Amino acid sequence: MQLHVQNLTRTFGAVHAVKGASFALNPGRVYGFVGPNGAGKTTTMRIMATLDEPTSGDVLLDGVSIVDYPEIARKAIGFMPDTLPAHSDITVREYVDFFARAHGLRHAPLRQAVASVEAFTGLEPLRDKTLRTLSKGMRQRVSLARALVHDPQVLILDEPAAGLDPRARVELRELVSALGDAGKTLLISSHILTELSEICTDVIIIETGSILRCSPLRGNNRQTEDAAAEKGTDDTSESAPLRTVAIRPLGPPDKLHRALLELPHVRQVRPVANELHADIEGDEPETAAVLRLLVERNIALLAFYPVEENLETIFMRVTKGELA
């Protein structure tokens, strides 16, 4: 089940919370949705969960607009908001049971679904406790159980780890990983980048309402989806992968900097400490070609190695810390 966010815009008066955001979520992948506070993450997620409506743009679920047909999205999408369940005078079992019924489950499938999510989220021992008596971590689990009870293919989790103690965080991470392994498409927003990088396959970076980057996280071959997003499209099929290599010259880097900028495939060069980091468009053959051309130009090099970017460095490099 593919989810396409197309040119999504949401304004609140004069404030543009989301500005033409475009990206796609593919089946079986876990997407980290990161951005500074007020970047537009929650608004985007709320629209995707049909809790809010865009000012313009659309979200397509397998080609069907969820703005026009929210009922269709509600079958396929599970949403865990950043707020905890507001109901207090109800037990865990009754709460999950209600949402299972609300999603149309009845009789044996209902009992099976409730028991299954209780087991998955570890809520079995707490099923007869009222929500009022639960800790924040436990209520987060209830919230996750609620989002999972109708077995959605796409899960949207907004700040699932916020305010949790370390143990609850580890447990939640394990649950999320298990969901990813089960083939669900997940979109998770979080401020804890190290945790996200452990569980996510892809990252979507948003700032001031605009998508800055949407690319796979692993393998140092980030797609040029950020460029595609800037253009307002989500078609990255023709974009080449982008690799970053660190090059340490013998002596001052000026000559190397000039030479790199003249080479084909080199998209950007920036000094980092006593090295230069070059973004090379292409895969390993293009990287090898750059190295060969530098050697042919008699530039003395001490080191030439690929830079393994983690989520934190990508985030810091891509974002500017601006607010919408």
Partner 1 sequence: MRPFRFALNPILLKELRQSVRSRFVSVSYCLFLLLLVVVTGFVVWIGATEIHRDPGAMFGTGRTLFQALFVPLSIVCMLFVPSYAGIRMAVERGDQHLDLQFVTRLTPGSILRGKLLAACSLIILMASAALPFLTLTFRLGGIDLPSAFVILAMLPMAGAFATVFALTLATLPGSRVWRVILGLIGGIVLFVWMIMLNTSAFGMVEFGVGSRIATAEFWRGTLFFFLGGVTLGGLLFSLATARMSPPAANRALPVRLWGAGSWVATGLIFATIAFVEHDEDYLIPWLVFSFFLSMAGMAIAMGERPDFGRRVRRAIPRRRLWRLLAFPFFNGAAPGMLWSVIIGVAAMALGGMAGNALSPGGYDSQGIDVMVGLLAYAFAYCQTGMWLWHFVARKKLARGYAWLLALMLLMLGVVTPILVGLADGSLGRDGYGAWTVGNPFALFDDKHRFEGLLFVAIWCMVLLAPWLFWTFKAWRAFQPLDTSKPEQP
Query: Residues interacting with partner 1, by CB under 8 A?
Result: 6, 49-51, 53, 57-58, 60, 63, 65, 67-71, 74-75, 79, 81, 83, 86-87, 89-91, 94, 98-99, 101-104, 106-107, 130, 146, 150
Pairing of strands 301-306, 241-249: antiparallel
Judged by beta carbon, residue 136 or residue 297, the one nearer partner 1 is 136
Minimum Å distance from CB 146 to partner 1? 7
Nearer to partner 1, 131 or 211 (CB): 131
**Composition of the chain by helix, strand, coil, percent to 5:** 35, 30, 35
Nearer to partner 1, 22 or 215 (CB): 22
Q: How far is the CB of 100 from partner 1 (least distance, A)?
A: 9
Task: Assess contact for 91 and 130: CB atoms under 8 A.
Answer: yes
Minimum separation from the CB atom of position 29 to partner 1 (A): 23
Smallest distance from partner 1 to CB 175, Å: 19
| Contact assessment for residue 96 and residue 149, using Cβ atoms and an 8 Å cutoff | yes
147 or 205: CB nearest partner 1: 147
Distances (CA, A) of 79 to 47, 84, 100, 186: 11, 12, 14, 10
Q: Which is nearer to partner 1, 139 or 150 (CB)?
A: 150
Cβ neighbours of residue 60 under 8 Å, at least 6 residues apart?
3, 4, 6, 66
Question: Least Å distance between CB 120 and partner 1?
Answer: 19
Contact residues for 208 (Cβ-Cβ < 8 A; gap 6+): 16, 19, 39, 40, 322, 323, 324
Query: Does residue 115 contact residue 149 with C-beta atoms inside 8 Å?
Result: no
